[in-house]
Amino acid sequence: MSKKKMLVSNKTLVKFAVVSVLLTSIVFLVQSISENEDLLSDFVLVYYTNFEDAEKVDDRHLSFPVGHYFNFDGRLENNTWVRGGEGARFWVENSIAHSGSRCIGMELFNITKSLRNEFVIYDVHEQLGDEIFVSAWFYLPADWMLYGPDGLRWYSLMVFFREYDNNYLPYMCLHISQPKIDVPEFSVYVFWRKIDNSKEVISHVSNFSLPRGRWFPVQYYLKRDPTAGILKVWMDGKLICDKSAIETKVQNEYYISIAKIYHEPYDNVPHQLWVDDIELRKRSES
């Protein structure tokens, strides 16, 4: 084969490969979204906010009719974490938004004074029951990255459920990790801390195209059950977790961290996060 023909043939192969990958991605995306929409038809919207008329009531609360607070706890004192709260803040943002002109901005700016910045919604069982569909939109800065040593560059963005008793176990949450320092390549996974305090990663997606510098949704369906629990999670329209027959309930009451800045204390670079358009749904009674 001549060099020219080989070049054409290689180009055709590359084009074919690119088209195949694109088509596979589109089919996957359409499947993910249609499954999500099928599921949504079984749920009723209990609460939605676009934060357009949100006001800050105090350092930990918004004008938000659902039971909530911002948790900035955890401070390092003599190598021991104690209650703190001076290293994080939230505000009503009016310069960027997913909907309208306002959203909520969150920042963890001093890891020695606050271990976390966590937007908590509580009494969820009372308000929504044990089958919920939750959606929120997030914005991470365009240069968002994780810092700290190898193996400890992880970040918790959202907690799907967490119980109060037994030292806040069990819980499941959405983690982002960054395998290489200074390289913006990310993995996403669902982390499960069980009632006996053991850990399990129940789904893991490597090389996830993490949206930075643009808004993206995270949606999840959770069925709480002592043995037959279900968790499905979509991030930026992609199904990243689909697990059933999992233990997702011990006690009735639980809370959700709808948006969270939480990472290892070795990462002492300030982190910011914006959240908008929160939807809380419960299973419709048929």
Give the one residue of 36, 49, 50, 156 binding Ca ion; rule: CB under 5 A.
50
Does 141 engage in binding with Ca ion (CB under 5 A)?
A: no
Taking the complex as a whole, how short is the minimal distance between the CB of residue 137 and Ca ion, in angstroms? Answer: 9
Smaller CB separation from Ca ion, 95 or 167: 95
Q: Indicate the residue among 68 and 223 with the shorter CB distance to Ca ion.
A: 68
For the bound state, the minimum distance from the C-beta of residue 93 to Ca ion, rounded and expressed in Å, comes to 9
Question: Among residues 51, 70, 122, 255, which is the contact residue for Ca ion, using CB under 5 A?
Answer: 51
**Smaller CB distance to Ca ion: residue 51 or 192?**
51
Number of residues that bind Ca ion (CB under 5 A): 8
Closest CB 136 distance from Ca ion, rounded Å: 11
Shortest Cβ 50–Ca ion spacing (Å): 4
Binding mask 65-104 for Ca ion (x = CB under 5 A): --------------------------------x-xx-xx-
Q: Out of 138, 276, 280, 282, name the contact with Ca ion by CB under 5 A.
A: 276
- Least separation in angstroms between residue 275's CB and Ca ion is 10
For every residue of the chain, DSSP letters joined together read --HHHHHHHHHHHHHHHHHHHHHHHHHHHHHHHHHHHHHHTTEEEEEEE--TT--EEETTEES-SSSEEEE---EEETTEEE---TTEEEEEE-S--SSTT-EEEEEE--TTT-SEEEEEE--HHHHHTTEEEEEEEEE--TT----SSTT--EEEEEEEEEESHHHH-SEEEEEEE-SSTT---EEEEEEEE-TTS-EEEEEEEEEE----SSEEEEEEEEE--SSSEEEEEEETTEEEEEEEEE---SSS-EEEEEEEEEE-TT--S-EEEEEEEEEEEEE---
Distance CA 217, CA 263 (A): 21
Nearest-approach distance from CB 1 to Ca ion, in angstroms:
58
The residue (of 97 and 157) whose beta carbon lies closer to Ca ion is: 97
Nearer to Ca ion, 80 or 95 (CB): 95
Q: Which residues bind Ca ion (CB under 5 A)?
A: 50-51, 97, 99-100, 102-103, 276
